[in-house]
Amino acid sequence: MKPQCKTFRFALAVCAGLAFAGVGEADFAAGAVAPTIVPVEKLMKIGALPDIVQGSPAAPDTIIEYASMTCSHCAAFHESVWPRVKSKYVDSGRAKFILREFPLDAVAAAGFMLARCAGPEKRNLLIDQLFADQKDWAFTEKPIERLRAEVKKVEMSDAEFETCLKDQHLFEAVNQTRDLAAAAFEIHATPTFFVNGHKLTGEVAIEDFDKILEAPAK
Protein backbone atom coordinates (compact mmCIF):
# COMPACT_ATOMS: atom_id res chain seq x y z
CA MET A 1 0.00 0.00 0.00
CA LYS A 2 1.30 3.47 -0.91
CA PRO A 3 1.85 5.90 1.96
CA GLN A 4 -0.79 8.56 2.59
CA CYS A 5 0.40 12.13 2.13
CA LYS A 6 -0.58 14.15 5.21
CA THR A 7 1.27 17.40 4.57
CA PHE A 8 3.03 18.81 1.56
CA ARG A 9 6.50 18.63 3.08
CA PHE A 10 5.86 15.05 4.15
CA ALA A 11 4.49 14.35 0.69
CA LEU A 12 7.68 15.52 -0.95
CA ALA A 13 9.77 13.29 1.25
CA VAL A 14 7.65 10.18 0.93
CA CYS A 15 5.28 10.43 -2.02
CA ALA A 16 7.05 12.46 -4.69
CA GLY A 17 7.12 10.57 -7.95
CA LEU A 18 4.68 7.91 -6.74
CA ALA A 19 1.25 7.57 -8.33
CA PHE A 20 -1.71 7.78 -5.99
CA ALA A 21 -3.39 4.43 -5.46
CA GLY A 22 -5.99 3.56 -8.06
CA VAL A 23 -5.17 6.21 -10.65
CA GLY A 24 -2.57 6.62 -13.34
CA GLU A 25 -1.84 7.91 -16.82
CA ALA A 26 -4.18 6.72 -19.50
CA ASP A 27 -3.18 3.56 -21.30
CA PHE A 28 -6.35 3.27 -23.38
CA ALA A 29 -6.75 3.40 -27.14
CA ALA A 30 -6.60 6.90 -28.54
CA GLY A 31 -9.86 8.72 -28.08
CA ALA A 32 -11.55 5.80 -26.36
CA VAL A 33 -15.14 6.69 -25.63
CA ALA A 34 -16.29 5.27 -22.33
CA PRO A 35 -19.97 4.29 -22.14
CA THR A 36 -20.54 6.80 -19.36
CA ILE A 37 -22.51 9.94 -20.03
CA VAL A 38 -22.72 12.24 -17.01
CA PRO A 39 -25.24 15.08 -16.94
CA VAL A 40 -23.43 18.39 -17.29
CA GLU A 41 -25.38 19.75 -14.33
CA LYS A 42 -23.87 17.03 -12.12
CA LEU A 43 -20.37 17.65 -13.48
CA MET A 44 -20.64 21.33 -12.63
CA LYS A 45 -21.55 20.62 -9.01
CA ILE A 46 -18.49 18.53 -8.13
CA GLY A 47 -15.29 20.25 -7.03
CA ALA A 48 -13.41 21.43 -3.97
CA LEU A 49 -11.99 24.48 -5.78
CA PRO A 50 -13.75 27.13 -7.88
CA ASP A 51 -13.62 26.46 -11.60
CA ILE A 52 -11.62 28.84 -13.79
CA VAL A 53 -13.49 28.92 -17.08
CA GLN A 54 -11.83 29.52 -20.42
CA GLY A 55 -14.19 30.94 -22.99
CA SER A 56 -17.64 32.33 -22.45
CA PRO A 57 -19.40 30.96 -19.35
CA ALA A 58 -22.59 31.18 -21.41
CA ALA A 59 -21.25 28.99 -24.24
CA PRO A 60 -23.70 26.21 -25.15
CA ASP A 61 -21.14 23.39 -25.02
CA THR A 62 -19.01 22.31 -22.06
CA ILE A 63 -15.60 20.62 -22.09
CA ILE A 64 -14.06 19.52 -18.79
CA GLU A 65 -10.60 17.99 -18.53
CA TYR A 66 -9.22 16.15 -15.50
CA ALA A 67 -5.45 16.28 -15.80
CA SER A 68 -2.23 15.74 -13.86
CA MET A 69 0.73 18.07 -14.26
CA THR A 70 3.12 15.09 -14.42
CA CYS A 71 1.04 13.17 -16.97
CA SER A 72 2.86 12.94 -20.31
CA HIS A 73 -0.39 12.23 -22.18
CA CYS A 74 -1.85 15.43 -20.73
CA ALA A 75 1.19 17.39 -21.87
CA ALA A 76 0.87 15.90 -25.36
CA PHE A 77 -2.78 16.95 -25.52
CA HIS A 78 -1.99 20.51 -24.48
CA GLU A 79 0.81 20.73 -27.02
CA SER A 80 -0.89 19.32 -30.10
CA VAL A 81 -4.67 19.09 -29.66
CA TRP A 82 -5.65 21.82 -27.20
CA PRO A 83 -4.68 24.74 -29.52
CA ARG A 84 -7.06 23.38 -32.17
CA VAL A 85 -9.86 22.76 -29.68
CA LYS A 86 -9.37 26.24 -28.26
CA SER A 87 -9.44 27.90 -31.68
CA LYS A 88 -12.38 25.94 -33.06
CA TYR A 89 -14.66 25.71 -30.05
CA VAL A 90 -13.54 27.96 -27.18
CA ASP A 91 -12.37 31.15 -28.90
CA SER A 92 -15.35 30.96 -31.26
CA GLY A 93 -17.76 31.07 -28.32
CA ARG A 94 -19.17 27.61 -28.91
CA ALA A 95 -17.73 25.90 -25.82
CA LYS A 96 -16.38 26.73 -22.40
CA PHE A 97 -13.35 24.77 -21.21
CA ILE A 98 -12.57 23.87 -17.61
CA LEU A 99 -9.39 22.13 -16.47
CA ARG A 100 -9.67 20.47 -13.07
CA GLU A 101 -6.90 19.17 -10.86
CA PHE A 102 -6.35 15.41 -10.76
CA PRO A 103 -2.78 15.08 -9.45
CA LEU A 104 -1.20 11.66 -9.71
CA ASP A 105 1.61 12.49 -7.28
CA ALA A 106 2.84 15.16 -4.90
CA VAL A 107 4.88 16.93 -7.56
CA ALA A 108 1.78 17.31 -9.73
CA ALA A 109 -0.07 18.65 -6.70
CA ALA A 110 2.70 21.23 -6.22
CA GLY A 111 2.36 22.35 -9.82
CA PHE A 112 -1.39 22.80 -9.44
CA MET A 113 -0.95 24.66 -6.15
CA LEU A 114 1.46 27.11 -7.72
CA ALA A 115 -0.90 27.63 -10.66
CA ARG A 116 -3.70 28.51 -8.24
CA CYS A 117 -1.43 30.81 -6.28
CA ALA A 118 -0.51 32.64 -9.49
CA GLY A 119 -4.07 33.98 -9.50
CA PRO A 120 -7.11 33.40 -11.72
CA GLU A 121 -5.71 35.46 -14.60
CA LYS A 122 -2.40 33.56 -14.72
CA ARG A 123 -3.53 30.10 -13.59
CA ASN A 124 -4.22 28.62 -17.04
CA LEU A 125 -1.23 30.43 -18.53
CA LEU A 126 1.06 28.77 -15.98
CA ILE A 127 -0.54 25.36 -16.52
CA ASP A 128 0.06 25.62 -20.27
CA GLN A 129 3.66 26.67 -19.57
CA LEU A 130 4.26 23.78 -17.17
CA PHE A 131 2.89 21.29 -19.68
CA ALA A 132 5.10 22.77 -22.41
CA ASP A 133 8.17 22.56 -20.14
CA GLN A 134 7.19 19.31 -18.42
CA LYS A 135 10.37 17.45 -19.30
CA ASP A 136 12.44 20.26 -17.78
CA TRP A 137 10.96 19.99 -14.29
CA ALA A 138 8.63 17.03 -13.71
CA PHE A 139 11.11 14.21 -14.18
CA THR A 140 14.23 15.74 -12.72
CA GLU A 141 16.07 14.98 -9.47
CA LYS A 142 14.92 18.28 -7.91
CA PRO A 143 11.50 19.00 -9.44
CA ILE A 144 10.48 21.52 -6.77
CA GLU A 145 13.53 23.69 -7.41
CA ARG A 146 12.84 23.49 -11.13
CA LEU A 147 9.26 24.56 -10.42
CA ARG A 148 10.69 27.58 -8.61
CA ALA A 149 12.40 28.59 -11.84
CA GLU A 150 9.22 27.99 -13.84
CA VAL A 151 7.01 30.24 -11.72
CA LYS A 152 9.50 33.10 -11.92
CA LYS A 153 8.45 33.32 -15.58
CA VAL A 154 5.04 34.52 -14.37
CA GLU A 155 6.67 36.87 -11.84
CA MET A 156 6.06 34.81 -8.70
CA SER A 157 8.61 35.67 -6.02
CA ASP A 158 10.53 33.20 -3.86
CA ALA A 159 8.48 34.29 -0.85
CA GLU A 160 5.22 33.69 -2.71
CA PHE A 161 6.52 30.32 -3.88
CA GLU A 162 7.35 29.21 -0.34
CA THR A 163 4.08 30.51 1.09
CA CYS A 164 2.07 28.72 -1.59
CA LEU A 165 3.68 25.34 -1.00
CA LYS A 166 3.08 25.64 2.76
CA ASP A 167 -0.65 26.19 2.24
CA GLN A 168 -2.06 22.99 3.72
CA HIS A 169 -5.66 23.99 2.97
CA LEU A 170 -4.85 24.42 -0.72
CA PHE A 171 -2.92 21.14 -0.82
CA GLU A 172 -5.92 19.31 0.64
CA ALA A 173 -8.36 21.06 -1.71
CA VAL A 174 -6.33 20.11 -4.78
CA ASN A 175 -6.30 16.47 -3.74
CA GLN A 176 -9.95 16.55 -2.71
CA THR A 177 -10.81 17.71 -6.21
CA ARG A 178 -9.23 14.50 -7.48
CA ASP A 179 -10.87 12.29 -4.88
CA LEU A 180 -14.36 13.71 -5.45
CA ALA A 181 -14.09 13.25 -9.21
CA ALA A 182 -12.67 9.73 -8.91
CA ALA A 183 -15.59 8.69 -6.72
CA ALA A 184 -18.38 10.53 -8.54
CA PHE A 185 -17.34 9.93 -12.15
CA GLU A 186 -15.22 6.77 -11.96
CA ILE A 187 -12.07 8.47 -13.20
CA HIS A 188 -9.08 6.17 -13.05
CA ALA A 189 -6.58 7.80 -15.42
CA THR A 190 -5.50 11.07 -16.95
CA PRO A 191 -6.38 12.77 -19.10
CA THR A 192 -10.12 12.22 -18.83
CA PHE A 193 -12.51 14.56 -20.63
CA PHE A 194 -16.22 15.16 -20.42
CA VAL A 195 -17.53 16.73 -23.61
CA ASN A 196 -21.13 17.71 -23.03
CA GLY A 197 -21.09 14.89 -20.49
CA HIS A 198 -19.63 12.27 -22.86
CA LYS A 199 -16.56 10.69 -21.29
CA LEU A 200 -13.36 10.51 -23.34
CA THR A 201 -10.28 8.85 -21.90
CA GLY A 202 -6.84 8.58 -23.40
CA GLU A 203 -4.95 10.34 -26.17
CA VAL A 204 -7.81 12.16 -27.84
CA ALA A 205 -7.69 13.93 -31.19
CA ILE A 206 -9.65 16.92 -32.47
CA GLU A 207 -11.84 14.47 -34.38
CA ASP A 208 -12.99 12.93 -31.08
CA PHE A 209 -14.29 16.32 -29.99
CA ASP A 210 -15.84 16.88 -33.42
CA LYS A 211 -17.83 13.64 -33.23
CA ILE A 212 -19.62 14.92 -30.13
CA LEU A 213 -19.75 18.65 -30.71
CA GLU A 214 -20.67 18.44 -34.38
CA ALA A 215 -23.27 15.69 -33.95
CA PRO A 216 -26.79 16.69 -35.02
CA ALA A 217 -28.99 17.68 -32.10
CA LYS A 218 -31.50 15.02 -31.15
90-106 pLDDT, tens per residue? 999 999 999 999 999 99
pLDDT digits (tens, 9 = 90+) for 11-30: 444 344 334 444 556 543 34
Confidence of residue 177 (pLDDT cuts 50, 70, 90): very high
Q: pTM (2 decimals)? A: 0.85
pLDDT at 141 over 90: yes
- Whether 25 and 71 have beta carbons less than 8 Å apart is answered as yes
Tell me the mean pLDDT in the region 71-86.
97
Neighbours of 35 (CB within 10 A): 6
Question: Is pLDDT at 1 greater than 50 in this prediction?
Answer: no
Amino acid 41: pLDDT = 95
pLDDT reading at 7 higher than 70: no
Backbone angles phi and psi of 179, in degrees to 5: -65, -40
Contacts of 174 (CB under 8 A, 6+ apart): 48, 49, 101, 103, 109, 112, 113, 116
d(CA 141, CA 27): 25
- In the predicted structure, residue 59 carries a pLDDT above the cut 80: yes
Q: Which architecture, in CATH terms, is 36-208? A: 3-Layer(aba) Sandwich (3.40)
Distance CA 68, CA 53 (A): 18
> Are residues 83 and 132 in contact, defined by beta-carbon separation less than 8 angstroms?
no
Question: 3-state DSSP helix/strand/coil percent for the chain, to nearest 5?
Answer: 50, 15, 35
Return the domain boundaries, the chain: 36-208
Percent of the chain with pLDDT over 90: 79
